[in-house]
Amino acid sequence: MTTGIRALVCDYDGTLTQERNIVPSALRDTLRELQANGYMCTLNTGLPYPMVPFKVGRQFTPNAAYMMEAGGRIVTPEGQTYYVAPMAEDEIAALDPYLARENLRMAAFTPVSGEAFFVYTTDPESVRARYRSPEGKQFPDEWLLTDIHTFRHLIREKGAVRVAMEGSDDSFAIPTNGDMPGSVTRNSATYEVRSEGVNKGEVIGRWAKAHGLDLSQIAICGNDLNDLDMFQTGVGMKIRVGTDCLQLAEYATHQVTDAEELAVFLQNEFLS
């Protein structure tokens, strides 16, 4: 049994989930057992803040504040925001040429305040399928936009924590080498744009301080490239889930194949 770890911080999609965005029952039970035994269990996910209760549903409820928007927000399970890092006006303005491209398939942002999540898309049904909740709840129509001009107006009016964009083909690309204001990363087909220095790793330090934790007392779980910043921190345990993202292997302290094996690992390490 591992000693010294007091908190578990997890990515969601592909880390805790398997097919159809479902958390295996064994892992759901394990997370609840960890919480019952005094461990803080929370999420550090690229899921937009308003989508967490919608997409995660009752599969997992953090018992400590969770980190959202790839590090740009920390929100309590009750929905209270106590840290947010909004994008600057020039960072949003720099996206205009990409929002005007004909091969833009999807663009999304979460406003700095409020509980909405706006998505522009040329294929509304694909968005509804992507964000369908485990209980079958549909993506709200009022968040779904098919007019890019409305999207651009809203992002300027409301501000954004992060903007995600996808193209309809490989010719759609946003520079990831620092040529633009802010920070640009690519995760599969999705380009994520945030303020400079805002990422999943940086926010762990803020979260740990708020909960009186040392980084060495935190275990993290992740599976994809947008978890790399988190794996590059000095946390006490780094669990790589799956084998698709080779960049995580250099930093991982432990390896499991999928969410079901993660449940077994957590049982053996913390509950045996």
pLDDT at position 256: 98
What tens digit of pLDDT does each residue of 14-30 get?
999 987 778 999 999 99
Place of tokens 């945030």: 194
> 154, 178, 194: which is the final residue of a domain?
194
SS3 track for 196-219: CCCCHHHHHHHHHHHCCCCHHHEE
Claim to verify: residue 237 and residue 213 sit in the same structural domain: yes
pLDDT of residue 2: 63
Q: Does residue 25 lie in a domain region? A: yes
In a domain, 224, yes or no: yes
Indicate whether 173 and 203 sit together in one domain.
no
Would residue 127 count as lying in a domain? yes
Task: Specify the length of the chain in residues.
Answer: 272
* Position 220 in a domain: yes
**Residue 2 included in any domain:** no
Residues with Cβ within 8 Å of 58's Cβ and at least 6 positions away in sequence, in order, are 134, 135
Instruction: Please say if the pLDDT value at position 1 is more than 60.
Output: no
Q: Tell me: pLDDT of 180 over 90.
A: no
Indicate if 212 and 184 belong to the same structural domain: no
- The distance from CA 219 to its chain's CA centroid, rounded to whole angstroms, is 17
Beta-carbon contacts of residue 246 (< 8 Å; ≥ 6 apart): none
**Mean local confidence (pLDDT), 86-114:** 95
**Quick check: helix, strand or coil at residue 89?**
helix
Q: What is the pLDDT of residue 137?
A: 76
With a pLDDT cut of 70, the percent of the chain lying above it is: 99
In this structure, are 185 and 98 located in the same domain?
yes
pLDDT digits (tens, 9 = 90+) for 46-55: 888 888 888 8
Q: What's the rounded Cα separation, in Å, for the pair 259 and 59?
A: 13
159 and 121 assigned to the same domain: yes
Two tokens at 49? Answer: 């803040």
207 and 75 co-located in one domain: yes
Among the listed residues 145, 150, 194, 191, the one whose alpha carbon sits nearest the alpha carbon of residue 170: 191
Q: In what order do the strands lie in the sheet with 81-84?
A: 66-68, 73-75, 81-84
d(CA 64, CA 35): 10
Same domain, 69 and 104: no
Indicate whether 258 and 235 sit together in one domain: yes
Do both 207 and 111 map to the same domain? Answer: no
Does residue 49 lie within any of the structural domains? yes
DSSP-assigned beta bridge partners for residue 9? 42, 220
Residue 99 and residue 169 in one domain: yes
Q: How far are the Cα atoms of 221, 238, 240, 265 from residue 257, in angstroms, in the given order?
A: 12, 14, 8, 10
Domain that holds residue 23: 7-82+199-271
Domain assignment present for 162: yes
At 208, phi and psi to the nearest 5?
-60, -45
- pLDDT tens digits, one per residue of 124-134: 998 888 777 77
The tokens describing 265, both together, are 């690992």
CATH number, domain with residue 36? 3.40.50.1000
User: Does 97 lie in the same domain as 188?
Assistant: yes
Return the SS3 of 88.
coil
Residues 171 and 210 in one domain: no
Q: Which of 77, 148, 155 is nearest to 116 (CA)?
A: 155
Dist. CA 203–CA 139, nearest whole Å: 28
CATH of the domain at 165: 3.30.1240
Number of domains in the chain: 2
Establish if 1 belongs to a structural domain: no
Which pTM was predicted?
0.90
Rounded to whole angstroms, how far apart are CA atoms 183 and 201? 14
Which of 169, 194, 219 is the C-terminal boundary of a domain? 194
Domain boundary among the residues 167, 194, 221 is at 194
HSE (CB half, 13 Å, CA atoms) of 15?
A: 28
Q: Name the token pair of 151.
A: 């999207």
